[in-house]
Amino acid sequence: MLDAIIQGLLLGGYYAMLAAGLSLLFGVAKFINLAHGDLAILGAYLVLFGVKVLGLSPWLSVLLSLPIMGILGWLLQKYLFTRTQAAGFLLPLLVTFGLGAVLQNGLYGVFGSDTRSLANYIGDLSWDSWQLTDQISVGKLPVITFACAILVLAGLQLMLSFTRLGRAIRATASDPEAAELNGINANAVHCSVSAIAVMVTGLAGAFLAMRAQITPYDGPVQLIFAFEAVVIGGIGSLWGTLIGGIVLGISQSLGATLISAQWFQLTGHLVFLAVLTARFYSAIAHQRGGWRMFLKQSYFSITGSLPSKVTKTKIKNG
Amino acid sequence: MTLGSTSVIAGIGIDKHYGAFQVLHGVDFSANKGEAVGIVGPNGAGKTTLFGVLAGSTAPSAGVITYQYTDITATNAAQRCHAGIARTHQVPRPFLGMTVFENLLTAATNGAGLTGYEAEAFAVRALIQTGMSPLANRPAAALGLLDRKRLELARALATAPKVLLLDEIGGGLTEGELHQLVTLIAQLKDDGLTIVWIEHILHALLKVIDRLVCMSEGRVIAQGHPKDVMSDDEVMKAYLGSELEVAL
């Protein structure tokens, strides 16, 4: 069980890296990118292309893919997302959904439907592990992925807290019009955020391809994982996203170990639903003046009478 | 009026309509360098919309805006901020996810284009000017309305403006606070800033301004020396005779 928790924790690092871009774009530009998972897969294929076709080393290929993904993110925001956002909240959903379909079929057209992986190109790293105790060993790749996720999130957090761009991003997230009046070009900020988000997403995709087999149609599942990590951790907070990713990873890992291997995804989804339900009711309770009031009202609406204790107090006061 | 002849900022023939609803009807407005201009008028007169047009956050339907003898109609709010036009909002719009100091630092780096120590020093200056130093590290979201209004002014000052558009920043202040505000604005005017101030609290406004503009239903109905404007028949009528008489 401790082993399952450790493996889940490490997997959570990958989820956090995957979700960071989704969270950032939602937090600042206020829209949900349904092509998010497909962009991760695109990043993975870009690295594969560098390795297989250009014959680069995998790490060099990852490094080179990052600026390309960044530029892609910038262009997508400038020429697609900004324009669709002007037409309300529904259009960006439809457009990014369509973009996802284009990416899937585009990748299928170029690379075919075979499953592919970077695992063959990174040598021992794909299976090698450190033996911690007799029962517990940790894979080198998951540890590297986790460390990389922490570095990326910490880097993003430092950037947001202490740099000029970071403050401009936070100001724009808070109030784009007031930001403009303080000399910030909100459109440029949105483009930068999109560039960063797509770059980080591509990196996550590369790590996915090192760990697992991918096909052009794997994006939507990654989108769901990213979405779950963001919702569990709370929208708009990078460290929340890390927590969300880790909770998701550990739930999946525990489900697979304690129940059965098929429960890997399902446990994650159930925990996500549980968190969502809890958030939903806590929001209602907050609206109605706290949990106690909310529970009393719920009790009343179900039974048609107040709990006896409440009735007594009422009589006494009356 | 010739196009921005002596004025540092001017709007000429400004129309603004939202669909069929016209908010501004051919408004001519200008302010000279170092001048303090007050704008009064009943609610819905289009005062705040005029500010939006001057600051670049609202695009006019027709008309030209000039700044320092240049046509700036096509520029956006960020460019105008860089050029030296700053505005405050009647309902404060602080960057809620940041502390007071970070709000000012954002304005100093992005608006005034300063970096490093210079930007920090400038933000500190805005803190001191507005008396917000004790609140420097308070999250903006934790401020009350009055402190948010002060932050609004401080943030505008941190962008190093040449023209300051103030939208009802005196509302809700006590007499003492109002006196401090008037002193600060007079000081800024002496430093060479051009001030345009929308305010309902006339006795405060009159202590600072050189010229008064009265707007009603999207038009400028009178402008000139404050005393003359306030004794104008049309101005009295627009105000329904109430507010002005009380103020006088």
Q: Do B111 and A171 touch (CB under 8 A)?
A: no
Q: What is the mean pLDDT of chain A?
A: 89
Task: Mark whether B217 and B131 lie in a shared domain.
Answer: no
Considering the domain boundaries, does residue B90 fall inside one?
A: no
Task: Mark whether B60 and B151 lie in a shared domain.
Answer: no
| Alpha-carbon radius of gyration of chain B | 18
Q: Chain A: nearest CA to B3, how far in angstroms?
A: 25
Which chain A residue is nearest to residue B91, measuring alpha carbons? A178
Residue carrying the six token digits 């956050």: B57
Confidence at B93, pLDDT banded by 50, 70, 90:
very high
Closest CA to B47 of B148, B196, B172: B196
Per the structure, the count of domains in chain B is 2
Confidence at B5, pLDDT banded by 50, 70, 90:
low
Q: Cβ distance A145 to A17 under 8 Å?
A: yes
Q: Do B81 and A167 touch (CB under 8 A)?
A: no
Q: Do B78 and A183 touch (CB under 8 A)?
A: yes
Q: Do B93 and A175 touch (CB under 8 A)?
A: yes
Closest CA to B98 of B148, B57, B172: B148
The answer to whether B107 faces chain A, any CB pair under 8 Å, is yes
Task: Mark whether B235 and B165 lie in a shared domain.
Answer: yes
The answer to whether B224 faces chain A, any CB pair under 8 Å, is no
Reported as a single tens digit per residue, the pLDDT across B196-238 is 999 988 889 999 999 999 998 899 988 998 888 888 888 877 7
Residues of A in contact with B159 (CB under 8 A): 182-183
Confidence at A151, pLDDT banded by 50, 70, 90:
very high
Q: Chain B: nearest CA to A153, how far in angstroms?
A: 18
What is the per-residue pLDDT for A294? 78
- Name which of A54-63, A124-133, A235-244, B78-87 the model is least confident about: A124-133
Which chain A residue is nearest to residue B120, measuring alpha carbons? A164
Calculate the CA A58 to chain-centre distance: 24
Reported as a single tens digit per residue, the pLDDT across B103-122 is 999 999 999 988 889 999 99
**What ipTM was assigned to the predicted interfaces of this complex?**
0.86
**Dist. CA B108–CA A40, nearest whole Å:** 37
Residue A318 has pLDDT above 70, yes or no: no
Reported as a single tens digit per residue, the pLDDT across B226-235 is 888 888 888 8
Task: Mark whether B31 and B146 lie in a shared domain.
Answer: no
Task: Mark whether B199 and B114 lie in a shared domain.
Answer: no
User: Tokens representing B180?
Assistant: 């401090």
Confidence at A257, pLDDT banded by 50, 70, 90:
confident
Q: Do A182 and B107 touch (CB under 8 A)?
A: yes
Could you tell me the sign of the dihedral formed by the alpha carbons of B179, B180, B184, B187, in that order? positive
User: Tokens representing B237?
Assistant: 């009528």
Task: Mark whether B202 and B126 lie in a shared domain.
Answer: no
CATH of the domain at B185: 3.40.50.300
Task: Mark whether B24 and B117 lie in a shared domain.
Answer: no
Domain containing B138 equals 95-157
Mean pLDDT confidence for B50-68: 93
CA atoms within 13 A on the CB side of A98: 9
| Preferred mutation among B109, B151, B155 to probe A, highest tally of A CBs within 10 A | B109
What is the per-residue pLDDT for A287? 82
Higher pLDDT, A132 or B27: B27
**Dist. CA B154–CA B150, nearest whole Å:** 6
Residues 32-91 of B with CB under 8 A from A: 55-57, 76-78, 81-82, 86-87, 89
Task: Mark whether B170 and B237 lie in a shared domain.
Answer: yes
Interface of A with B (CB under 8 A): 164, 167-168, 170-171, 173-175, 177-186
Which chain B residue is nearest to residue A236, measuring alpha carbons? B97
State the count of interchain CB pairs (< 8 A) between A and B.
77
Contacts of A289 (CB under 8 A, 6+ apart): none
Q: Do A180 and B102 touch (CB under 8 A)?
A: no
What is the per-residue pLDDT for B2? 46
Instruction: Show contacts of A263-272: CB within 8 Å, 24+ apart.
Output: A268/A225, A268/A228, A269/A224, A269/A228, A271/A232, A271/A247, A272/A228, A272/A231, A272/A232, A272/A248
Considering the domain boundaries, does residue B220 fall inside one?
A: yes
Q: Cβ distance A136 to A6 under 8 Å?
A: yes
The answer to whether B141 faces chain A, any CB pair under 8 Å, is no
Considering the domain boundaries, does residue B235 fall inside one?
A: yes
Reported as a single tens digit per residue, the pLDDT across A188-245 is 999 999 999 999 999 999 999 999 999 999 999 999 999 999 999 887 788 899 999 9
Q: What is the mean pLDDT of chain B?
A: 89
Q: Cβ distance B139 to B165 under 8 Å?
A: no
Confidence at B170, pLDDT banded by 50, 70, 90:
confident
Instruction: Show contacts of A229-235: CB within 8 Å, 24+ apart.
Output: A229/A12, A229/A15, A229/A16, A229/A18, A229/A19, A230/A19, A230/A22, A230/A23, A230/A26, A231/A272, A231/A275, A231/A276, A231/A279, A232/A271, A232/A272, A232/A275, A233/A19, A233/A23, A235/A23, A235/A26, A235/A27
Considering the domain boundaries, does residue B140 fall inside one?
A: yes
Considering the domain boundaries, does residue B201 fall inside one?
A: yes
Could you tell me the sign of the dihedral formed by the alpha carbons of B159, B164, B166, B169, in that order? positive
Residues of A in contact with B82 (CB under 8 A): 183
Task: Mark whether B151 and B103 lie in a shared domain.
Answer: yes
Higher pLDDT, A64 or A260: A64
Contacts of B198 (CB under 8 A, 6+ apart): B38, B39, B40, B47, B48, B51, B90, B166, B167, B168
Task: Mark whether B236 and B170 lie in a shared domain.
Answer: yes
Q: What is the pTM of this model?
A: 0.85
What is the per-residue pLDDT for B240? 53
Q: Do B57 and A180 touch (CB under 8 A)?
A: yes
Domain A2-264, classified CATH 1.10.3470, yes or no:
yes
Domain end marker among B107, B132, B157: B157
Which chain A residue is nearest to residue B96, measuring alpha carbons? A174
Task: Mark whether B168 and B80 lie in a shared domain.
Answer: yes
Domain end marker among B124, B139, B157: B157
What is the per-residue pLDDT for B1? 44
Q: Do B111 and A183 touch (CB under 8 A)?
A: yes
Residues of B in contact with A182 (CB under 8 A): 81, 106-107, 110-111, 155, 159
Confidence at A126, pLDDT banded by 50, 70, 90:
confident
Closest CA to B218 of B19, B22, B24: B24
- Helix, strand, coil abundance in chain B, percent, nearest 5: 40, 25, 35
**Dist. CA A234–CA A230, nearest whole Å:** 6
Residue carrying the six token digits 């308070």: B138
Residue A309 has pLDDT above 60, yes or no: no
Task: Mark whether B243 and B166 lie in a shared domain.
Answer: yes
Domain end marker among B110, B125, B157: B157
What is the per-residue pLDDT for B193? 94
Reported as a single tens digit per residue, the pLDDT across A79-110 is 999 999 888 889 999 999 999 999 999 999 99
Contacts of B240 (CB under 8 A, 6+ apart): B42
Classify burial at A80, counting beta carbons within 10 Å of its beta carbon; exposed 0-12, middle 13-18, buried 19 or more.
middle
Angle at which helices A140-162 and A2-29 cross, to 10°: 30
Considering the domain boundaries, does residue B2 fall inside one?
A: no
Angle at the Cα of A191 from the Cα atoms of A50 and A197, rounded to 5 degrees? 50
Confidence at A308, pLDDT banded by 50, 70, 90:
low
Q: Do A183 and B87 touch (CB under 8 A)?
A: no
Residue B247 has pLDDT above 80, yes or no: no
